[in-house]
């Protein structure tokens, strides 16, 4: 079994109109090399589910997103993403705007293969007004409570970035917060994980390492060796987020051409060279909040 | 005292009292003033509060603003985002947040301003507001009390629920304190009307009413208590030695 594939192999597995979930959170551990590969491709009309950061902004700048299913888009230290804002303020995006917990609940429902999960979250808010497809359900028990029936969010594909993996698709997220990557993997028909390191199974760190294995390899269809693949987002403990780059990226909302000429339409290796090399990425300090 | 008491310090002291009776709840202050205020609460009126390092771990001492030697943190527990969701759905948190808009019903907005399909200003998205406001206690800090923040009618995109639109006793909001640059309020007036509890020094009742887009009730026009000497020392020397708080009101 060898699941190690290239960025191009992943793109060949994707098609127009697909629903794609992107792991990570805000400006943290985003599979940016895969996102850039989508931006460099002819793919279009995607439905994207994300705890949004520059993945969403970059896809917006390339007009790849038809519909966004999300709770927020933020770059952490820079609270708002300029490209996402521009797309919204131009009325370009179809939205399913949800509470961030409802996103998890939708992915979890898909993961459990149930059609919905009950929650009170969303009640009394315009989330329900703007998503009329979300229905209420009454408890069949004596309490008679009303709940929001959060529908399953099925993904065709989940794209994740992890710290370590082997050729079988055993992955490890070593950073302190695995976010909701596991739910994305479980909600998806296929999951592709870019990885800082691809090692022999015997070198995954034994039992101690396996604690960081957040979901089974049977869920992983492909592993892409992409050191620095989360840049400019962080990938703890390997590297922090590149504030200077995120500022340059944000400023590019005014005129995208320079940024695009510099950083897009490159192979991942070429991209890493352009931003200053792997040693530069690995030296970006972890943020302190 | 090296300089006179600042408005930001009055707000921090007043805001810290929001967590006074919360026992061991997770105190989350989002934004500069709420974060310093949560830290002050833990160092003064409620040392039992749980607090994070701003990221993934529960730590024993409140986080100061600016750089710190995190190797000195005493780590108590784990609080990943997934754990935060579990904690908040169980009502085990009291957050203080800064919505862009708030209305007479206590509904809050951080999603967008203007028409939803083509907004004038896109903000963050509803983020965790729908879950927070229905699940646990929330307090609110508004640095720019005006008719743009305290809006007439309803907020543009209801992100956090208010008292006008709830379904049952188990599905209603719990807004605790509202602290602004003008005074201290809560939503415990008649029929959950916003009510004034105190005015900051130099602020008149009229300053409040002309800057609020809806009717409020007045429980008290007393002056907001000034921070004590102990509170000032903790704010200035321990929690915010770099004086980042001065940014909020350009002090």
Q: A159 and A139 in one domain?
A: no
Does A158 fall in a domain?
yes
| Rounded CA separation A23/A31 (Å) | 7
At residue B3, the pLDDT reads 65
How far off is chain B from A257, nearest CA to CA, in Å? 23
B116 touches chain A (CB under 8 A): yes
> What's the whole-number mean pLDDT along residues A149-175?
98
- Looking up tokens 């987002």 gives A233
Count of domains forming chain B? 1
DSSP of chain B: --SPPPHHHHHHHHHHGGGTT-TTPEEEE-SHHHHHHHHHHHHTT-TT-B-B-SSSEEESSPPPSS---GGG--EEEE--HHHHHHHHHTT-EEEEE--SEE-TT--EE-SEES-TTS-SEE-S-STTHHHHHHHSEEEEEESS-STTTB-SSS-SS--B--TTS--STTS---EEEEEESSEEEES-SGGG--EEEEE-TT--HHHHHHT-SS--EES--PBPPPPPHHHHHIIIIII-TT-GGGGTTT-
Q: A19 and A145 in one domain?
A: no
B173 touches chain A (CB under 8 A): yes
- Closest by Cβ to A88, choosing from B119, B128, B166: B119
| Rounded CA separation A66/B113 (Å) | 22
Prior bond to A220 cis, omega within 30?
A: no
Q: What percent of chain A has pLDDT over 90?
A: 99
Hey, what are A241's tokens? 């987020």
Q: A264 and A124 in one domain?
A: no
Q: DSSP character for A5?
A: -
Q: A250 and A123 in one domain?
A: no
Does B58 fall in a domain?
no
Interface test with B, best of A23, A49, A75, A100 (most B CBs within 10 A): A100
Instruction: List the 42-71 stretch of B: residues with Cβ below 8 A of A.
Output: 53-57, 63, 67-68, 70
At residue B72, the pLDDT reads 87
Q: A161 and A41 in one domain?
A: yes
Hey, what are B111's tokens? 């999603």
3 state SS of A206: helix
Does A46 fall in a domain?
yes
How far off is chain A from B168, nearest CA to CA, in Å? 8
CB atoms B63 and A289 under 8 Å? yes
Count of domains forming chain A? 2
Does B216 fall in a domain?
yes
Does A132 fall in a domain?
yes
Q: A271 and A128 in one domain?
A: no
At residue B1, the pLDDT reads 43
| pLDDT grade for A82, boundaries at 50, 70 and 90 | very high
Residue of chain B minimizing CA distance to A181: B82
Residues of A with Cβ-Cβ distance to B70 under 8 angstroms: 288
Asked whether the predicted pLDDT for residue A250 surpasses 60, the reply is yes
Does A104 fall in a domain?
no
Interface test with A, best of B54, B130, B173, B192 (most A CBs within 10 A): B130
Which ipTM value was assigned to this complex? 0.96
User: Which domain does B161 fall in, by range?
Assistant: 7-49+95-247
Does B62 fall in a domain?
no
| Rounded CA separation A65/A148 (Å) | 27
Q: Which of A134, A151, A168 is the last residue of a domain?
A: A151
How far off is chain A from B185, nearest CA to CA, in Å? 23
Q: A121 and A86 in one domain?
A: no
* Helix (H) or strand (E) segment spanning residue A117: strand A116-119
Q: A121 and A263 in one domain?
A: no
At residue A98, the pLDDT reads 98
| pLDDT grade for A288, boundaries at 50, 70 and 90 | confident
CATH code for the domain of B238:
3.40.1080.10
Q: DSSP character for A10?
A: H
Q: A178 and A200 in one domain?
A: yes
Give the residues across from B48 on adjacent strands.
none
How far off is chain A from B119, nearest CA to CA, in Å? 5
CATH code for the domain of A274:
3.40.1080.10
Residues of A with Cβ-Cβ distance to B128 under 8 angstroms: 71, 99-101
Half-sphere exposure of B94 (CA within 13 A, CB side): 26
Instruction: List the 178-207 stretch of B: residues with Cβ below 8 A of A.
Output: none
Residues of B with Cβ-Cβ distance to A72 under 8 angstroms: 124-127
Q: Which residues contact B116 (CB under 8 A, 6 or more apart)?
A: A126, A130, B156, B157
- Looking up tokens 């020397």 gives B237
Q: A167 and A77 in one domain?
A: yes
Q: Residues A27-67: pLDDT tens digits?
A: 999 999 999 999 999 999 999 999 999 999 999 999 999 99
Does B55 fall in a domain?
no
Q: A249 and A124 in one domain?
A: no
Nearest CA-CA partner of A253 in A95, A88, A93: A88
User: Which domain does A180 fall in, by range?
Assistant: 7-98+153-279
Q: A167 and A76 in one domain?
A: yes
CB atoms A89 and B111 under 8 Å? no
Does B65 fall in a domain?
no
Interface test with B, best of A89, A121, A178 (most B CBs within 10 A): A121
Q: DSSP character for A151?
A: E
Prior bond to A89 cis, omega within 30?
A: no
Q: Residues A169-190: pLDDT tens digits?
A: 999 999 999 999 999 999 999 9
Does A262 fall in a domain?
yes
CB atoms B56 and A176 under 8 Å? yes
> What's the whole-number mean pLDDT along residues A148-163?
98
At residue B169, the pLDDT reads 81
pLDDT in tens, chain B (251 residues): 446 999 999 999 999 999 999 999 999 999 999 999 999 999 999 999 999 998 999 999 999 998 888 888 899 999 999 999 999 999 999 999 999 999 999 999 999 999 999 999 999 999 999 999 999 999 999 999 999 999 999 999 999 999 998 778 888 999 999 999 999 999 999 999 999 999 999 999 999 999 999 999 999 999 999 999 999 999 999 999 999 999 999 99
Nearest CA-CA partner of B106 in B166, B192, B34: B192
Q: Residues A87-122: pLDDT tens digits?
A: 999 999 999 999 999 999 999 999 999 999 999 999
């Amino acid at each position: 079994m060898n699941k190690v594939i290239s960025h191009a192999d992943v793109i060949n597995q994707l098609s127009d109109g697909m629903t794609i979930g992107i792991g990570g959170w805000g400006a943290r551990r985003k599979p940016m090399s895969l996102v850039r590969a989508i931006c460099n491709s002819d793919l279009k009309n995607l439905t994207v589910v994300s705890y949004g950061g520059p993945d969403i902004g970059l896809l917006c700048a390339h007009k790849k997103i038809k519909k966004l299913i999300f709770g927020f888009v933020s770059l952490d230290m820079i609270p708002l993403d300029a490209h996402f804002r521009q797309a919204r303020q131009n009325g370009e995006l179809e939205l399913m705007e949800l509470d961030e917990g409802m996103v998890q609940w939708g992915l979890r429902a898909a993961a459990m293969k149930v059609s919905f999960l009950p929650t009170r979250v969303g009640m009394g808010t315009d989330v329900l007004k703007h998503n009329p497809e979300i229905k209420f359900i009454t408890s069949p028990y004596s309490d008679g409570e009303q709940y929001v029936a959060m529908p399953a969010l099925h993904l065709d594909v989940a794209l994740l970035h992890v710290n370590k993996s082997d050729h079988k698709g055993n992955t490890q997220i070593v950073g302190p917060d695995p976010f909701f990557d596991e739910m994305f993997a479980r909600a998806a028909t296929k999951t592709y994980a870019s990885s800082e390191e691809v090692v022999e199974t015997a070198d995954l760190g034994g039992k101690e390492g396996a604690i960081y294995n957040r979901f089974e390899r049977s869920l992983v269809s492909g592993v892409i060796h992409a050191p620095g693949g989360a840049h400019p987002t962080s990938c703890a403990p390997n590297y922090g987020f590149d504030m200077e780059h995120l500022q340059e990226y944000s400023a590019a909302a005014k005129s995208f051409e320079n940024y695009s000429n510099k950083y897009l339409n490159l192979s991942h290796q070429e991209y890493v060279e352009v931003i200053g090399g792997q040693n530069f990425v690995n030296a970006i300090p972890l943020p302190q909040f | 005292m090296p300089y006179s008491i600042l408005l930001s310090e009055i707000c921090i002291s007043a805001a810290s009292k929001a967590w006074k009776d919360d026992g061991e709840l997770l105190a989350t202050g989002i934004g500069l003033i709420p974060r310093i205020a949560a830290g002050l609460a833990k160092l003064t009126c409620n040392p039992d509060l749980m607090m994070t390092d701003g990221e993934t771990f529960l730590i024993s001492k409140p986080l100061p603003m600016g750089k710190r030697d995190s190797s000195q943190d005493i780590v108590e527990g784990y609080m990943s985002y997934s754990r935060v969701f579990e904690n908040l759905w169980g009502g085990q948190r009291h957050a203080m947040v800064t919505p862009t808009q708030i209305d007479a019903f206590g509904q809050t907005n951080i999603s967008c301003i203007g028409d939803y399909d083509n907004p004038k200003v896109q903000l963050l998205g509803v983020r965790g507001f729908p879950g927070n406001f229905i699940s646990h206690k929330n307090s609110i800090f508004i640095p720019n009390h005006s008719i743009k923040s305290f809006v007439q009618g309803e907020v543009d995109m209801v992100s956090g629920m208010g008292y006008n639109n709830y379904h049952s006793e188990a599905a209603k909001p719990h807004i605790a304190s509202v602290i602004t640059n003008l005074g201290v309020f809560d939503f415990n007036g008649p029929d959950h009307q916003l009510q004034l509890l105190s005015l900051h020094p130099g602020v008149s009742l009229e300053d409040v009413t002309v800057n609020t887009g809806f009717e409020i009730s007045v429980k008290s026009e007393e002056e907001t208590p000034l921070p004590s000497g102990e509170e000032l020392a903790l704010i200035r020397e321990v929690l915010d030695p770099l004086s980042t708080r001065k940014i909020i009101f350009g002090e």
